[in-house]
Structure 1
Amino acid sequence: MKKIVCLALLTSMSLLSQSSMASESKLSDQELNLLPLVQVQGEKYIASTIESEMKKHNLPGLSVVAVKHGQVVWAQGFGLADKLTGRKVTADTLFQAGSISKPVAALAVLKLVDEGKVKLDSDVNQYLKGWQIPSNKFTKTNKVTVRQLLTHSAGLTQHGFPGYQRGTNIPTDIDVLNGLGNTGKVIVDKAPGEGFRYSGGGYTVLDLLVESVTGQSFIDYTSAHILQPLGMTNSTFAQPLPKPLWSMASAAFDGSGQQIEGNWHVYPEQAAAGLWTTPSDLALYIGAIQSARAGKSVGPITPKLVKDMLTFHDNDWGLGPVLKSYEQGLAFSHGGKNKGFTNIFKAYADKKDALIIMTNGDSAGPVIRQLEIAMSDHFGWDLSTPKIVQKHEFTTPKLKQMTGQYIYDKDSQYSFKLTYDNQYILAYDASRDHTSQLIATSDGELIDINDGSTVDIERDTQGEIKALVWNGQYRFVKSKL
C-alpha cells in the first residue's frame, strides 16, 4: 500500500480548513426543465425536476456547478451524502471522480513534458523504475510512448478497475500492473499506435511514470505541483482517503440506492481512478485550461501545454480529455465511473463556460443526461441536446435471436449479456453492475435511451446476428456458448 506521507496529511488538513467555503447559488425547479435524452417521435414528455428524477432512479445525492463567462453561476448540492447519518450533499461534499481522474492526472505528465523531463514520443520504459512494460511481438518494432498512453492508443489491456473494499489489502501500482490485485496483468496485446482502445491500465503506467521521474509519491507530486497551484484545495489523490476527510466525503450507492459496504471503495490506481474532488474544484481546473488557451498561464497550465492537450488524436482524444467540435466551438470533456459514483464535465475551450455534475450512485446516468440537456438549454449552450428517434418494433423471434452473451473483440475480459422485457432490450454489464436500456430505431440499429449510445447490429449472410458495435467502435462478438 502506498504511504500517505507528510504532504498528503498537510493536504488533508488544508481540505478541512477549506470546508464549507464553496458557497451555494441555487436555481429553482421552475428554471430547469428535465426531459429525456432520447425521445421517441410522436410521444409526449412532461418536464421533470432534479429531485423527482433522483427519486425515480434511486439516486441519493448529486452536486452540480455551472460556469458562465468564467464565473460560477450555479453551485448546488441535492439529496444525501450518507443515508446512515442523514448527512446532506453540499457544494463542498467530496466525490470520487472515477475516470475524471485521468485528465487531471495527465497534467502531471504534461508538466514533466513542459519541463523537458519527459518526451511525449519516447519509449515510456526508459522512464520507469521497478517495473517495465513487458516486451513481446507487439512491441518489437513499435515501443509504447507517453503520448499513446495519454490517448489510449498504446495497445495496453485493462479497461477499468473495480476498486477494493476498505479494510482489505490494497496492492501497489506495480502489483496491479503485474495482475496481483483483482484485475488481470497489464500487457500490450496489439501494436502500439495501431488504434484507440480505452485503457485504465495505461494510466496506471503513467502513475508509475510520475513517481519514477520525480522521486515523489503520486499523491505528494500532484498535491504540490498540480492541485494546490490550481487552488483545488478540496481535492486529493490520496488513496485510501485520510481519516480526517471521511466526514466530508460522500458515501457510494449501488443501482438500487443502497449504501455500499464500507461506504466507498479504495482505488490504488490513482491516475486512472483515484481522485477525490468537488464540482467547484473541477471548475478551477477547467478555468485554468480555458485561460491558458487564451494565452495566460495558470499554475502549471501553460499555453503550450494546453495546445498539446487539446490537439485531436485517434478517436477524438486529446492528451487527457475527450475533444469534440460543436457549432459554438471546441469542447473538452470526460466522464467518470467508480463503484457508486457517476460524473461528467463538459467545457468549451474558447469561451469560459462549463458544466460539472458529480453523483454518488450507480444509477445516475439518466439523471445526468437529462440535467445536461436542461443546463444546456437554460444557459444557451449546445453541449447536450435531445435525440429524436423513431421506434422500430422487432418480432419476438428476432428478439430471441438477439439474446445471449457478447464479448469485446479486443479484450475478452469485457462483456455483457443481452435480454429483453416488454419495453426494452437490456444489456447487462456485470463488471460495472450496470444495465443499459435499448430500443430499436431500425432493423440494424439500437439506441440506449439513457445515454444516447448507438448500437449497430452485424448479421451474417443468413441473417444471424454476429456482433453488436457500440458507437461505431466497440465491437462485441456474440458468444457461441
Structure 2
Amino acid sequence: MQLIKSISSLLLLLLSYSNKAQNLQTHNIIYSNPIDTTIKIDGNINDWPSNLNHYPIEKPLQRINNKNEGNFSAYFMTGYNLNQNALYLAIVVEDDMYFSDKDNPSIRNQDSYSLYLNEKYSRVGSGVGYYAITENYKELMNASNNWDPKLKELLDWKKVDYKISTKDKQRIYELKITLQKPIYDGRVIGLDHIINDVDKDSQTRYGWVNSSNKDATSQPGKIGALVFHENPRKLGTITGKVSWRDSAITTKPEGVILTSKKNNRFWIYLPVDNDGRFSTLLPKGEYVLTPGKLAFFSGYTFYKANSSITKTIKVKEGILNDEVNYYLQPEKTPYFEEEGNFLYDISENGKQKIDETIKAHMQFYGIEGVAFAALKNGKITYHNTYGVKNNYTKEKVTEETLFEVASITKPVFAYAVLRLYEKGLIDLDKPLYEYLPFDIISDDEYSKLITARIVLSHQTGLPNWRRNGVLKFKFKPGTTFGYSGEGYEYLKRVIEKITNKEINEVLNEEVVTPLELEHMYFKKNEYAAKYKSSGHYNSYPGKIDLPENPWVAGCLITNAKSFAKFIIALQNRKGLKPETFEMMLSYHTNVPQDFRENIWGFDEYMGLGLFVEKTPFGNVLRHSGDNGDFQAVFKLYDDLDMAYIIMLNSNSGHFLLDNIEKILIDVDELSKIKQ
C-alpha cells in the first residue's frame, strides 16, 4: 500500500484520539482542494502541490489465473481549478512490468486505467460513466443503454485532457476533466478508479472504493464520493455506531447516509464495520443521519428500516466531535389478506384485491415495477401493470414494457427442442457428445451419459454454473435432480450444430412464429431497446442489458400479455403431438424439498423444461426466473384451465411472488371443485 505522503494537520490531530477514531473510514470519501499553481498535463507531476493527500487504489476486484506477480501499488491525488471548472487527477502506479497490445485495442487485455464519474450524483441513481485509457487506445463508455438518458451528454473526450508517462517501474496517468456544471464549495460528485494490471501469466483489476467485480456503471451507489472543499483545515470528524433498537434483530446494518441540512445535494454514504461503527471527516454544519439500506433479512424474517427515524448531528470544525449512536427501528409488516379464489372466478372485487395486494407489496418491499396477467379457459381474464420501468426517470410501466423473465426461458427452449424431436432432428436419448462433445468435461466418462432428455429434466449432474472456469460433475447423470443452466447451454450448442442455425433463429421458427407470439425476444433489437425496463437492485436502476448472443438458460425478454399466449398454447396443447405433450409433462424425476417453490407443500417433479406440482386439484405446471434485478413466476393449473404470470423489475419481490398465489387460489375450494 502506498504510504500517505502528506496529510493535513487536522487529520494528525484526529488520529491522536486513536481509542475513539481507530475505525476511521475515509476510504470512500475524499476532499478535492483548490490548486492555485498552473498544472500542465504532460505525465509529469513535479508541478503538483506537495501537500496533497495520496489515496491508495488497492482493492483487488478480479484475479485471472489467481496469481499476484510483481509488486503492485497505486495511489491518486486530486485538486480543482475554479476558473477552469476543472477537476485534476494524478494516478501513480508502481509495477514490475507494463503490458501493451497495439494490435488488439482493448482496455481489458493490457495495462489500463478507467475513471468512473457520476457528475449529477443524484440520490435516486444518476448515471455512472467511464473514460478508459491505455498507451495506445482510449475508450468512452457507450451510454446508449444507460438508465440515465442524459448521461451521454456528459461523456465527451473534448472535456478530457490526459497524458500517460512511464519511467522504469512507475507509470503516471494525469488527467484534467472539465465538468459540465459549475464547481462550488461543498459540491459532491461520484468517483472511482479501476486499474487493470496485466502481467505475464495473470491479470488483476484494482479499485479504490468498488470492492466487487461488478461493473460500477451497471448500478449507481457502488462508487465513492469526491467533495470540492475550499479549506482542508475546516473539517471536523464524527464517529458513531448504528444498531437496531430491537436486539433480537441480528442482521448488521450495512451503512448510513449523511445529508447536509443546509444543502441536501451534499450527501454521502458511509459503510460501517462489523460492529456497526462509522467515522469520517465532514465540513462543519448540521447533518441528518438516515439508514443506508432499508431492506434486511434476519434469519428468514424480513425487516424494513423505518426511514422516518433519523438523527440530526452537528459537526464542529477542527475537533473530534462527540460519538453518535443511531438506532434503527423496523417498520411493522403490513397485513396482507391471504384468502381468495380469484383466479378460478375472477370478479371486479377480485381484480381490486389483486391490485391492492400488488401495490401494498410494492410499497413495503420497494418493488419498482410489476406486470400481471390472469388466464382462464384459454383467455386473458385480467391484465394490469404497476409502477415504473425506471426509478430514476419515473417512466411508467405500460402494456408494452418488456421484462427479463430469466429462467422462464427454459420451458420455451424445451418446447423448441421437442418440436425438433418430432421432426426427427434430435434423439432425446442419444448421448449429446455424439452430436458435439462438451470440451471442458470431455475427459470425464460421465459426459458420455448426458442426453437431451436428461438436460431438459435437470439430471445432468452438472452445477448450475461453473466457478472460476472449473466445471465438474456433482453426481452421475440421470440418477437424480440437479438444476443446471450449464446443461441447457450445452444442449443449445448441440441444437445449433445439428440445425446449422443460430439459436435465435431456431426459437423464432419453432416457437414464436408457429404460435403467433408477439414481443418475445432472445436477442438485442430496436424494439427491445426501446421498451425494455431497467432492472433494479435496492431501488437503484441498472443499465438496459440486451443479449448479443442468446443464452437459453435465461435470456427471454417479453411482456405479460405476450407470454400469456405461450401459456395458452400449453393449455390448449398447441404445436406438439399429444404424446409429446404427455412426455413433456410426465414426472421424470423428483424435485427435492429444498428446491420446491410451491407454498402449500405439494409433491413436485421435473418434466421436460417445466416443474410439475402434484396437487389435489390436478397438476400445476410452473417455472420461475430470477436474474437478480428481474424476477418472474408463471403457473398453469392444468386440469382447471387457469393460469397467471407475474413479472417484476426488482430484486426485492420474493414475498410478492409467494403471497400473490394466496389470494389467487383457495386450495380447499379448488380441491372440492376438482372432486
**In the TM superposition, what whole-angstrom CA distance separates every residue of 1:175-230 from its partner, at most 9, and x where no partner exists?**
xxxx7xx8634443421112111101111112112211111111111112211211
**Corresponding residue for residue 17 of structure 1:** none
Structure 1 residue 243, shift from structure 2 partner: 3.5
Say whether the 8 Å CA contact 1:267–1:273 is kept in structure 2.
no
1:146 aligned onto 2:452: yes
Q: What is the match of residue 427 of structure 2?
A: 119
Q: Is the 8 A contact 1:138 1:189 kept in 2?
A: no
Question: For residues 304 and 30 of structure 1, what CA distance do their matches in structure 2 show?
Answer: 37
> Which residue of structure 2 lines up, in the alignment, with residue 252 of structure 1?
535
Distance 2:499 2:669 in 1: 43
* Amino acid in the other structure paired with 1:126: E
Deviation at 1:343, TM superposition (A): 0.4
Question: What does residue 417 of structure 2 align with?
Answer: 109
For residues 481 and 455 of structure 2, the distance between their equivalents in structure 1, rounded to whole angstroms, comes to 10
Where 2:552 maps in the other structure, the secondary structure is helix
Change (3 A) 1:68 1:380: farther
| Larger Cα-atom Rg | 2
Shift of the 379–128 alpha-carbon distance from structure 1 to 2, 3 Å rule, reads farther
Counterpart of 2:623, as a letter, is H
CA contact (8 A) 2:522 2:550 kept: no
Q: Distance in 1 between matches of 2:648 and 2:392?
A: 17
Aligned length: 312
State whether residues 620 and 636 of structure 2, in contact with CA within 8 Å, keep that contact through their aligned partners in structure 1: yes
- For the 8 Å contact 1:153–1:194, the answer to whether it is kept is yes
In the alignment, what sits opposite 1:235? 520
* TM-score, reference length from structure 1: 0.60
Q: Does 1:135 align with 2:417?
A: no
1:73-472 paired onto structure 2 within 5 Å: 73-128=381-436, 131-132=438-439, 134-139=441-446, 143-157=449-463, 159-160=464-465, 184-238=469-523, 241-254=524-537, 256-260=538-542, 262-264=543-545, 266=547, 268=549, 270-292=551-573, 298=574, 300-315=575-590, 316-377=605-666
Other-structure match for 1:470: none
Q: Call closer, same or farther: CA 1:264–1:377 in 2, change over 3 Å.
A: farther
The answer to whether the 8 A contact 2:521-2:528 is kept is no
- Give the TM-score taking structure 2 as reference length: 0.43
> Does the residue aligned with 1:339 lie in a helix, a strand or coil?
coil
Which has the higher relative contact order, 1 or 2, with Cα contacts under 8 A spaced 6 or more apart? 1
Q: Deviation above 4 Å: which 4+ runs of structure 1?
A: 26-34, 265-269, 377-382
Q: Deviations over 1:285-338 (max 9, x none)?
A: 12112212xxxxx3x333222111001011210000000122221111000011
Gap change, CA 1:211 and 1:185, over 3 Å in 2: farther
* Mapped contact 2:391–2:539 kept (Cα < 8 A): no
Are the aligned partners of 2:512 and 2:520 in contact in 1 as well (CA < 8 Å)? yes
How many angstroms apart in 2 are the aligned matches of 1:230 and 1:379? Answer: 35
DSSP 3-state at the match of 1:330: strand
Tell me which moved more, 60-69 or 115-124: 115-124
Q: What is the DSSP-based 3-state SS (H/G/I as helix, E as strand, rest coil) of the residue aligned with 2:392?
A: coil
**Higher percent of residues as helix:** 1
Of all paired residues, the percent bearing the same amino acid is 28
CA deviation map 1:324-368 (0-9, x unaligned): 122221111000011310100000223321011011011011112
Q: Which residue of the partner structure matches residue 441 of structure 1?
A: none
Task: Show CA shifts across 1:104-141 (max 9, x none).
Answer: 11112111111111111110112227x5462345527x
Alignment-derived partner of residue 593 in structure 2? none
Question: How many angstroms does 1:83 deviate by?
Answer: 2.4
CA distance in 2, matches of 1:99, 1:152: 13
- 1:279, distance to aligned residue in structure 2 (A): 1.8
Structure-2 change in CA distance of 1:325 and 1:189 (3 Å): closer
Q: Which has the higher strand share?
A: 2
Unaligned runs of 5+ in 1: 1-25, 35-46, 161-178, 293-297, 383-481
1:34-45 equivalent positions in 2, closer than 5 A: none
Instruction: State the alpha-carbon separation in 2 of the partners of residues 27 and 148 from structure 1.
Output: 42
Which runs of 5 or more residues in structure 2 are unaligned?
A: 1-345, 591-604
- Equivalent-residue separation in structure 2 for 1:27 and 1:89 (angstroms): 24
Q: Distance in 1 between matches of 2:393 and 2:361?
A: 23
How far 1:61 moved relative to its partner?
A: 0.3
> 2:373 corresponds to which letter in structure 1?
V
For 2:394 and 2:400, locate their aligned partners in 1 and report how far apart those are by CA, in whole Å.
16
Do the aligned partners of 1:29 and 1:49 also contact (CA within 8 Å) in 2?
A: no
Equivalent residue of 2:455, what SS?
A: helix
CA distance 1:378–1:314, change in 2 (3 Å): closer
